[in-house]
Amino acid sequence: MIAYLVLILAIPLGFALAHVTKDEKQIYSKSPYFPILLWILAIAATVFYTIDKKIALPLVFIFIMTFIWNKA
């Protein structure tokens, strides 16, 4: 249960990180950084969700945080 509560914190953390690094947005939003990382995290979270939820939940947390960070 606490893992899901921590998972909800990914959204505000993504906004906070976007605010802190807003000057570097033009650097990390290009191809070698977040777009590739988001695909890797999404596939890894999907694969590990079928194997073990203890591994999949942190991957989903990182995916949501990075997604919000990239879009904000």
Write down the pTM of the prediction.
0.85
Q: What is the pLDDT of residue 47?
A: 95
Phi (first) and psi of residue 10, to 5 degrees: -65, -35
CA atoms within 13 A on the CB side of 39: 5
Alpha carbon 11 to its chain centroid, in Å, reads 9
Q: What percent of the chain has pLDDT over 70?
A: 100
Q: How far is CA 72 from CA 4, 19, 61, 65, in A?
A: 22, 8, 16, 11
> What digits encode the pLDDT tens for the residues 48-60?
999 988 889 999 9
By residue range, what is the domain housing residue 17? 2-71
